[in-house]
Structure 1
Amino acid sequence: MASCAGTPSVRTDLAQAKSNQVLTKKEQSKLTPDDVIGILKQGNEEFVNNRLTSRNTPDRIKAAINGQYPEAIILSCIDSRVPVEDVFHRGIGDVFVARVAGNIVNTDILASMEYACKVAGSKVVVVLGHESCGALKSAIDDVKLGNISELLQKITPAVHSSKTGFQGETSSSNPIFVEKVSHSNIALAMSEIRKNSPILKEMEARGEIKIVGAMYHLQNGKVDFLEDR
C-alpha cells in the first residue's frame, strides 16, 4: 500500500502480533503483586521507547467474551493526554481502569477497586497521577463551579499539606508547587483507600495485593512508581 509523502507505510504481520491470549484465571492466580508491577514497568518502558507491538484485536475481543482476569486496577485522572492502557502497553482484558478528574477516591471508586481485587482477582491498585493536572490547579486556585466544587474539595487537603514548609509561590502558576500537590494527592488517595476500604487494607496486609502510587510525565510518557508515603 502506498504511503503518504514523507510517511513510511506500516504493515502489520499478525504472526508477529503481541499475544492474542487474554489472561486466564489460572495464570492470574500465579502472579504476585510484584510480578504485576514488573509487567507494568516493562510495558511503560516499551511505550516510552516506541517498542509497541500490534495485537490481533478481533481475536482478543472474542477470547475475552467468557470472562476477565485483569492483572491490576489503575485509578487515573480523566486527562486525555494520559491513555492508560497504552501507557502500560496493555490491551483488552489486561487491566481495569477507573478514571475521574484529579484521580480522587470516592465510594464508587472504592467499590470498583474492591470488585477488581476481591472478586476479579487483580493483584495491584495503582493510583496514577500526572503532571500539569487541571483538577489540581483548580483546587489550588479554589475554583467554584457547579459539581466541580465538590470534587475539588477532595483535593484540598493535598493542597494544604503541600504548603507546609514549601519555599516559593503556592499557586497554580508554579509548576514545582503543582508537582508537589500531585505527589501529595497520590498519597492522599492511597491513604483514603486504606482508611475507607477494610477489604483492600486487609488484602494488602496479607500480601494478596499492593497499593502503589505512580506519576506520569507528559514530556516523555514515562511512569515513575513512587515510594509509599
Structure 2
Amino acid sequence: MPANQTNLVERIVNASPTPYLFGFLGWYGMWLLQLQLPVFDYALGVSLIFLPAGIRTLSVLIFGLRGAIGVFLGSVVSTMGYMGHVNSMDFFNYCIVAAVSAFSSYLMMSLICWWRRIDSELNELNFGDLMAIVFSQGLLSSTLHQLIYAYNPIEIAYTNPTLAEAFRLWAAMATGDIVGSMILMLSAVALVNLFQRLRSYAP
C-alpha cells in the first residue's frame, strides 16, 4: 500500500470521532441487518444470533470506553425504534437497556484484562482470553437484560414466567450474544489476515 494511503488510513483510525462513530454506526448497521433476519427471533428483545453483540465486542476491544459510548448511543436509537410501541418503556428505560448493552461489555473486558494482566495495548491477548471476554460479556449482558425485562415486562412472555421459561429466555439471549460476537470476531480476524496477505503480495 502506498505511503500516502497508509497515512490516510492511520489518520482516519486515530481521529478523535472514530471510536464513537465506529461504535454508533457499527451497532446501528448491524441492528438494521438483524432486522432482516427474523428467523432468529426467539422473543421480543431476544435473538438466537445477535449480530450487534459482535460490534459491541469489537468496539470495546479496539477503542475501550470511547467505543462503548458509541455503542451506547447506537443502542439508544435502535432500542427506541424497536421498543417504541411498548407502553411500559420510556426514554429512561431505553437508556438503561442501552447502557447494559454497552457498558457491561466494557466492564467484562476490563475485568478479564485485569485478571489476565493484559496491558491497555492488548499485546498479551490470546484466543483463550478473547473467548473469555466474549462469553463473560454475553452472560452478564443477558443476565442484566433479563432482570430489566422481569422488572419491567416488555411482552407477555416476561409476565410471571415459570423458572423454566425464565431460564429459556436467559439462555436464548446469552446464546445469541455469544454466537453473534463469535461470528463477527472471527470474520474480523479473517479479514485482517486476508488484508495482511494481500499487502505481502503488493509490489
Higher relative contact order (CA 8 A, sep 6+): 2
More strand by share: 1
Larger Rg: 1
TM-score by length of 2: 0.37
More helix by share: 2
